């Protein structure tokens, strides 16, 4: 195996390469790969993986549908999982944005307020790997921190 290409489509028919990951060719063991679309399309997107073999053959994964409609989420977090900095995108410019990050027990880990923003970033450098919950203006989403 040579590489994997991540492809995205807004209609499920016309595909565009988003990124390419080299395959690990050192062993015959199973390997895990991950990739995050840091600039997702609004609305519905389709994703698939194109596996390119050394001999030039290509095979495709099953197609996955992702709904990024603003009516389905009060905000978007990317990347998620996050290592250091989470970027939060709101559906529109918001005068006052209060946020809180809690752990699985509901204990407050971090709180803050931003003014007149539609996008902002939160540092998670001091958070241990795990599952947290990000609440913004009474809407909550799961936030995964990986190290």
Q: What is the pLDDT of residues 64-100, one digit of tens each?
A: 988 776 555 678 898 989 999 999 998 888 888 999 9
Predicted pLDDT at 70 = 53
Statement to judge: residues 10 and 32 lie in one domain: yes
Integer-rounded Cα Rg, in Å, for the chain is 18
The reported pLDDT for the residue numbered 33 is 77
Question: What is the DSSP code string of 62-110?
Answer: --EEEEE-TTT-S-EEESSSBSSEEEEEEEEEEEEEEEEEE-TT--EEE
Q: What is the mean pLDDT of the chain?
A: 86
pLDDT value at residue 38: 73
Last residue in a domain, options 67, 90, 108:
67
Q: Which domain holds residue 56?
A: 3-67
Chain centroid to CA 72: how far? 15
Q: Which residues of the chain have pLDDT under 50?
A: none
Whether residue 60 is found in the same domain as residue 77: no
Whether residue 79 sits in one domain with residue 54: no
- Count structural domains, the chain: 2
**In terms of domains, do 51 and 82 share one?**
no
pLDDT of residue 71: 52
Amino acid 69: pLDDT:
66
32 plus 90 within the same structural domain: no
């Amino acid at each position: 195996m040579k590489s994997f290409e991540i492809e995205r489509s807004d209609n499920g028919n016309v595909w565009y390469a988003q990124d390419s990951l080299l395959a690990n060719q050192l062993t015959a063991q199973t390997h895990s790969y991950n990739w995050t679309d840091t600039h997702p399309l609004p609305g519905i997107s389709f994703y698939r993986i194109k596996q390119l073999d050394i001999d030039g053959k290509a095979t495709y994964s099953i197609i996955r549908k992702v709904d990024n409609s603003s009516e389905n989420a009060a905000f978007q977090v990317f990347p998620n999982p996050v290592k250091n900095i989470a970027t939060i995108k709101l559906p529109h410019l918001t005068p006052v944005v209060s946020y809180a990050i809690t752990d699985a027990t509901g204990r407050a880990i971090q709180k803050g307020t931003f003014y007149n923003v539609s996008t902002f970033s939160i540092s998670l450098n001091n958070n241990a790997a795990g599952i947290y919950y990000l609440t913004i203006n009474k809407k909550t989403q799961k936030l995964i921190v990986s190290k």
